A = this chain, B = another copy of it.
Amino acid sequence: MAQKALLRRISFYADLDDVDQQVIMQIDGREQHYEKNTELVDAGQEMDSVLIVKQGWAIRYKTLEDGRRQVLNVLLPGDMFDLQVLVAAEADHSVKTVTSLTGLSVRPSEFRRLLTESGKLTLAFWWMQVQEEAFLREQIVRNGTQSARERIGHFLLELYRRVLITGAGTDDGFRVPLTQTVIADALGLTPIHTNRVLRQLERDGLLERDNGWILFKDETRLAEMSQFDPSYFHLDAFRMRLGRE
């Protein structure tokens, strides 16, 4: 049930009562399955539905004519895209899976019905949008002001928090199904330099990598080094259900 992933996610943004939860669990849509590295949305394309991610990771990205690629954001279980469809805009960027992915495809009419059904839900979706925009802003700050070392630390910590919210990850680390090339494209670096910095972070005892997992050996020091301040998550407004800080 993709609805469950969405419910879990939304519960961070609003105190839903039984009725609201019912509404979400009964969202009408088509369950879809995609292979690893499947193009879900291509820039310039007209979109015809909203997709709610149930399981798996995807990336939003944009490519320039000469092939340079910028990863804008990572989509995790519980994330939705693209609400733009509600105003019938065409995609100005692409979306592609990085793992196999299952999701729920919801038609705009159904989605609009949802929004009118419950004021609380409308608010909750607003919150998700506000947070999504905050992630974009943070991405700008990170890539614009920070060194490669800081960017990588900051990026991993942000992802880690987000993964914890989805219910995955452990006390001291999480599985990162991103290649170093994807990380590099997210941070505006070359894969080569990304690799060097990652290895350096290991040598400095800040983290360990093991078979696709990132394990933080000293999260505090990493957060300080990269000036990671998660207030842009806006979780404080919800009494920090994450149980951190």
Q: Which of A30-38, A175-183, A231-239 sits within the interface?
A: A231-239
Interface string of A79-101 (1 = CB under 8 A from B): 00000101111101100000000
Q: Are A188 and B143 closer than 8 Å at their CB atoms?
A: yes
Residues of the B chain whose Cβ atoms lie less than 8 Å from the Cβ of A68:
145-146
Nearest opposing residue in chain B for A88, CB measure: B237
Partner of A140, one of B65, B136, B227: B136
Q: Are B127 and A72 closer than 8 Å at their CB atoms?
A: no
Q: Given that A72-B137, A141-B72, A145-B64 are contacting pairs, would A231 and B89 also be in contact in the complex, using a CB cutoff of 8 Å?
A: no
Q: Is A62 an interface residue (CB 8 A)?
A: yes
Q: Are A92 and B188 closer than 8 Å at their CB atoms?
A: no
Q: Is A218 an interface residue (CB 8 A)?
A: no
Q: Count the A residues whose beta carbon is within 8 Å of the partner chain — how many?
A: 43
Complex Cα spacing A90 to B238, Å: 12
Q: Are B130 and A89 closer than 8 Å at their CB atoms?
A: yes
Q: Given that A44-B231, A237-B88, A237-B90 are contacting pairs, would A133 and B133 also be in contact in the complex, using a CB cutoff of 8 Å?
A: yes
Q: Is A40 an interface residue (CB 8 A)?
A: no
Interface string of A114-134 (1 = CB under 8 A from B): 000000000100110110011
**A interface list, Cβ under 8 A from B:** 44, 62, 64-66, 68-70, 72, 84, 86-90, 92-93, 123, 126-127, 129-130, 133-134, 136-137, 139-141, 143-146, 185-188, 227, 231-232, 234, 236-237
Q: 9 nearest interchain CB pairs?
A: A144-B188, A68-B145, A92-B232, A70-B141, A70-B144, A136-B136, A87-B126, A70-B145, A62-B141
Q: Are B188 and A62 closer than 8 Å at their CB atoms?
A: no
Complex Cα spacing A188 to B142, Å: 10
Q: Are A70 and B130 closer than 8 Å at their CB atoms?
A: no
Shortest A139–chain B CB gap in Å is 5
Complex Cα spacing A93 to B133, Å: 12
Q: Are B144 and A84 closer than 8 Å at their CB atoms?
A: no
Residues of the B chain whose Cβ atoms lie less than 8 Å from the Cβ of A237:
88-90
Residues of the B chain whose Cβ atoms lie less than 8 Å from the Cβ of A227:
64-66
Complex Cα spacing A141 to B237, Å: 30
Q: Are A89 and B234 closer than 8 Å at their CB atoms?
A: yes
Complex Cα spacing A213 to B161, Å: 45
